[in-house]
């Protein structure tokens, strides 16, 4: 079945630094990927839709200059948290949308970001 690999699984960084999270579709091409943020014991919050070869579409309230998304190929999307602050600490998850509507989204394993 479809597999999405997300790295790193966890990262600790200092305030003011930038962190890049990668999301790869391993055995299928994903023209569309999604990035979510999840706070403890809460649901998924869609941050942005990443489209291969074009600019990402951000949800209302998500700072596009803070959360840079690049989808340069059909198998890779990256999320860069720029100038990270402690309030950016969270669990970030990516997913890829298969082309057939009968297939559900495939999710990465998530990245736990801690900014100290």
Partner 1 sequence: AQSVAQPEDQVNVAEGNPLTVKCTYSVSGNPYLFWYVQYPNRGLQFLLKYITGDNLVKGSYGFEAEFNKSQTSFHLKKPSALVSDSALYFCAVRDNNNNDMRFGAGTRLTVKP
CA–CA dist 65, 62 (Å, integer): 9
Using rule CB under 8 A, residue 54 touches partner 1: no
Using rule CB under 8 A, residue 96 touches partner 1: no
Using rule CB under 8 A, residue 95 touches partner 1: yes
Using rule CB under 8 A, residue 109 touches partner 1: yes
Q: In this structure, what token pair is assigned to residue 112?
A: 């736990």
Residue 75 beta carbon to partner 1: minimum distance, rounded to whole angstroms: 17
**From candidates 19, 81, 108, 115, binder to partner 1 by CB under 8 A:** 108
3-state secondary structure (DSSP) of residue 87: helix
Please, are residues 42 and 90 in contact by the beta-carbon 8 Å criterion? no
Window 16 to 45, contacts with partner 1 (CB under 8 A):
41-44
Q: How many helices (H) and strands (E) does the chain have?
A: 0, 11
Burial of 49 (0-12, 13-18, 19+ CB in 10 A): middle
Using rule CB under 8 A, residue 14 touches partner 1: no
Residues near partner 1 (CB under 8 A) are 1, 4, 6, 41-44, 49, 91, 93, 95, 97, 99, 101-102, 104-110, 112
């Amino acid at each position: 079945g479809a597999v999405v690999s997300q790295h790193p699984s966890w990262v600790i960084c200092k305030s003011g630094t930038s962190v890049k999270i990668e999301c790869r579709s391993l055995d299928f091409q994903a023209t569309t990927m999604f990035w979510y943020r999840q706070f403890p014991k809460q649901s998924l919050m869609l941050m942005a839709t990443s489209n291969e070869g074009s600019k990402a579409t951000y949800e209302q309230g998500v700072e596009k200059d803070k959360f840079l998304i690049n989808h340069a190929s059909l198998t890779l999307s990256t999320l860069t948290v720029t100038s990270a602050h402690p309030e950016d600490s969270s669990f970030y998850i990516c997913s890829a949308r298969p082309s057939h509507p009968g297939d559900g989204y495939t999710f990465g394993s998530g990245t736990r970001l801690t900014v100290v």
